[in-house]
Amino acid sequence: MWRYLAPLAAFLVLAGFLYVGLGLNPREVPSPLVDKPAPAFELAKLAQPDQTFSRDDMKGKVWMLNVWASWCTACREEHPLLVDIARQGTVPIVGLNYKDKPEAAKQWLAQWGDPYKLSVQDPVGRTGIEYGVYGVPETFVIDKNGVIRFKQIGPITPKVWQEKMLPLIRQLEQA
């Protein structure tokens, strides 16, 4: 009996592992930055390049840092959602314009709408490295103390926004 059941059991275990593996997304690399202080930056504003904006300017507020670029096609995908969020005034969104040309970036915002409180320029991607960015768009939810509480890699989907990000932001604002 055992000699027939053993291979079957082994097969089922293997099949179970493979089945779970199918559902995992290898692109979703857990960020070590969640629950760590957001890396400091002080960068030129996209609209007024002679002025800078830093992480600490958002101290005391719950906010989102959205990494975007005019060359990024997936950014277009999530853009309507960001515009919606901005219109409802749910949470301030700061744009990190990643490895982009300011002219192209401004034109992109003029064409598709500007959901950002403001955008800052990261022309060589140095701040992107500090934030562990490897796939634009990426979005960070940062709490009042400047701690990263959530990271979305790739476009924010309405589902992720409704089920994860919005409840988290509400909760953080209570704190």
Partner 1 sequence: MKRFLLVLMLAAGPALVAANQAAPTDLDPVANKRAVELSQQLRCLVCQNQTIADSHAELAVDLKNQINEQIRAGRSDREIIDFMVQRYGDFVLYKPPFKAETVLLWVGPVALLVLGMGAYFLQLRRRRTRIDERPLSEAERLEADRLLGLGKTEDSSK
| Bridge pairing between strands 52-54 and 42-44 | antiparallel
Sheet of 148-153: strand order equals 118-122, 93-98, 63-68, 138-142, 148-153
The angle at the Cα of 143, spanning 139 to 148, to the nearest 5 degrees, equals 50
Contact assessment for residue 93 and residue 114, using Cβ atoms and an 8 Å cutoff: no
User: Measured from the CB atom, is 19 or 89 closer to partner 1?
Assistant: 19
Residues 87-116: x/- map of binding to partner 1 (CB under 8 A)?
------------x-----------------
Q: Does 154 bind partner 1 (CB under 8 A)?
A: no
From CA 83, how far away is CA 96, in angstroms rounded? 16
Identify the residue among 7, 23, 32, 89 touching partner 1 (CB under 8 A): 32
- Considering only 28-36, 52-60, 102-110, 154-162, which stretch makes contact with partner 1 by CB under 8 A? 28-36
Identify the residue among 11, 80, 129, 163 touching partner 1 (CB under 8 A): 129
User: Measured from the CB atom, is 31 or 121 closer to partner 1?
Assistant: 31
- Considering only 56-64, 112-120, 132-140, 158-166, which stretch makes contact with partner 1 by CB under 8 A? 132-140
- Residue 135 beta carbon to partner 1: minimum distance, rounded to whole angstroms: 7
Identify the residue among 68, 131, 140, 150 touching partner 1 (CB under 8 A): 131
From CA 94, how far away is CA 116, in angstroms rounded? 5
From CA 141, how far away is CA 62, in angstroms rounded? 7
- Residues that bind partner 1 (rule: CB under 8 A) add up to a total of 17
- Residue in the block written with tokens 């030129």: 44
Q: Does 130 bind partner 1 (CB under 8 A)?
A: yes
Name every residue whose Cβ is closer than 8 Å to that of residue 76 and which is 6 or more positions away in sequence. Answer: 112
- Which amino acid, one-letter code, is at 67? V
Q: Give the footprint of partner 1 on this chain (CB under 8 A).
A: 26-27, 29-33, 99, 124-125, 128-132, 134-135
